[in-house]
């Protein structure tokens, strides 16, 4: 489009658009050079380069539990970059992540949020913050303890531990009985053959 006003033309003749550089590994390293200790720790412990996020929000759009999180997945990454340690470690977002990997599949920079969320969970527990989603944490611990015990999930014993931890003894009890009667939940657990290797993984993780 031609500029009719000569004054406007003179003002815009020397105007140049800024050069847009592709976002990649080099820019991620550059950003991390000015990052907070919190962001660097999350990157180290999760193995995910959180500095590569440019907030396109594709992870949030694809997340099945984003609608119940206090901070959406993309917001979590931005808060990590900004060093907002305490609000994140107190938030419900990490505990409501189901680890479905939809975020990592959609991310144009290959950032997997599931390991990041797990890292935030462990950091919150280490810092002494009580999980805001008590039932989610009860299920989390029950699942991990069941894997450690049998090398695989045995639904019946895992659900018993979950009910005791959550103190929610009677909800969905009729559904559980129905599944047992239909043979959908085995009564007796089966241990994997390489159970010692599974326990070794737990030992390395400090569990």
CA distances from 88 to 21, 47, 117, 155, 186 (A): 30, 18, 10, 31, 39
Q: What is the pLDDT of residue 35?
A: 63
DSSP 131: P
| Domain ranges across the chain | 27-126, 134-204
70-103 pLDDT, tens digit each: 999 999 999 999 999 999 999 999 999 999 999 9
- Rounded to whole angstroms, how far apart are CA atoms 93 and 121? 9
pLDDT-derived band at 195 (thresholds 50, 70, 90) equals very high
Q: What is the pLDDT of residue 93?
A: 95
State mean pLDDT over 108-130: 94
34-51 pLDDT, tens digit each: 568 999 999 999 999 999
- Rounded to whole angstroms, how far apart are CA atoms 100 and 123? 21
- Rounded to whole angstroms, how far apart are CA atoms 96 and 91? 10
- Rounded to whole angstroms, how far apart are CA atoms 31 and 27? 6
Q: Does the pLDDT at position 10 exceed 80?
A: no
The third-level CATH classification (topology) of the domain covering 27-126 is: Fumarate Reductase Iron-sulfur Protein; Chain B, domain 2 (1.10.1060)
pLDDT-derived band at 133 (thresholds 50, 70, 90) equals confident
Residue whose tokens read 């609608």: 67
- Rounded to whole angstroms, how far apart are CA atoms 170 and 182? 20
Alpha-carbon torsion (28, 33, 39, 43), positive or negative? positive
pLDDT-derived band at 140 (thresholds 50, 70, 90) equals confident
């Amino acid at each position: 489009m031609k500029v009719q006003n000569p004054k406007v033309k003179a003002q815009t003749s020397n105007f140049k658009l800024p050069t847009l550089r592709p976002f990649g590994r080099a820019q991620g390293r550059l950003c991390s050079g000015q990052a907070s200790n919190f962001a660097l720790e999350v990157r180290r412990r999760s193995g995910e380069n959180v500095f590569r996020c440019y907030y396109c929000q594709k992870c949030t759009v694809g997340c099945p539990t984003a609608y119940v999180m206090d901070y959406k997945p993309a917001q979590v990454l931005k808060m990590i970059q900004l060093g907002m340690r305490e609000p994140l470690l107190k938030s419900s977002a990490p505990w409501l992540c189901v680890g479905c990997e939809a975020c990592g599949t959609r991310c144009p920079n290959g950032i997997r949020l599931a390991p990041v969320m797990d890292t935030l969970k462990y950091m919150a527990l280490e810092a002494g913050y009580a999980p805001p989603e008590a039932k989610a944490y009860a299920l989390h611990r029950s699942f991990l303890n069941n894997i450690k015990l049998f090398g695989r999930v045995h639904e019946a014993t895992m659900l018993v531990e979950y009910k005791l931890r959550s103190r929610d003894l009677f909800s969905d009890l009729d559904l559980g009985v129905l599944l047992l009667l239909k043979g959908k939940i085995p009564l007796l657990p089966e241990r994997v053959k390489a159970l010692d290797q599974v326990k070794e993984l737990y030992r390395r993780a400090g569990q």
